């Protein structure tokens, strides 16, 4: 992917290119596997997937700001707009948590309609936690650079 100077999507593309993809995948896989081992069974699968995606988004978002290997413009954009940068990992983690919580409620107790609201609030809570954590780290680490 080439980054042009006048393109409006250049900061967003540059910010996503600074993610440490290897560390994120490894962290998400390890935590998802540990969660599956602790909650073994059919109902443990959505929980393990949700845990893995949460840590994938957390490690990727924080590692992208703290890593020096990425693009300079992407790190500068993430430092200038820390909570905009934190929105993408928060949406990923919160959305995955909402979907997996709903699947777990349907598998566990056939709560088709009542499980929808619980899953929505669980996803919003996880997304908010990710957004605040990654945004604060990007704000603090961005001021040092």
The domain of 86 spans 10-144
In a domain? residue 91? yes
SS3 of residue 114 by DSSP = helix
In a domain? residue 3? no
Percent of the chain past pLDDT 70, that is, above it, reads: 84
SS3 of residue 119 by DSSP = helix
Q: Tell me which residue of 108, 8, 5, 127 sits closest to 57, measured CA to CA.
A: 127
In a domain? residue 5? no
* Chain segment 6-35, per-residue pLDDT in tens: 555 555 555 566 678 888 899 999 999 999
**Mean pLDDT along residues 81-98:** 92
Q: Give alpha helix (H) positions in 41-113.
A: 44-66, 72-80, 82-85, 87-109
In a domain? residue 100? yes
In a domain? residue 2? no
The whole model's pTM is what? 0.82
State how far the Cα of 42 lies from the Cα of 12, in Å rounded to an integer: 38
In a domain? residue 47? yes
* Chain segment 90-114, per-residue pLDDT in tens: 999 999 999 998 988 888 888 788 8
User: Which pair of structure tokens corresponds to residue 105?
Assistant: 């409620």
In a domain? residue 137? yes
User: Which pair of structure tokens corresponds to residue 56?
Assistant: 């994938």
Provide the domain count of the chain.
Answer: 1
In a domain? residue 4? no
């Amino acid at each position: 992917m080439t980054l042009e100077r006048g393109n409006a999507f250049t900061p967003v593309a540059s910010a996503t290119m600074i993610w440490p993809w290897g560390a994120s995948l490894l962290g998400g896989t390890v935590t998802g596997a540990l969660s599956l081992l602790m909650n073994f069974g059919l109902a443990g699968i959505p929980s393990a997937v949700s845990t893995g995606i949460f840590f994938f988004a957390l490690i990727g978002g924080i590692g992208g700001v703290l890593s020096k290997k990425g693009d300079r413009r992407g790190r500068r954009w993430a430092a200038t707009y820390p909570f905009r940068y934190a929105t993408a990992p928060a949406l990923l983690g919160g959305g995955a948590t909402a979907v997996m919580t709903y699947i777990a409620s349907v598998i566990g107790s056939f709560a088709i309609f009542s499980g929808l609201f619980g899953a929505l609030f669980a996803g919003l809570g996880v997304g908010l936690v990710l957004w605040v954590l990654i945004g604060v780290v990007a704000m603090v680490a961005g001021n040092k650079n």
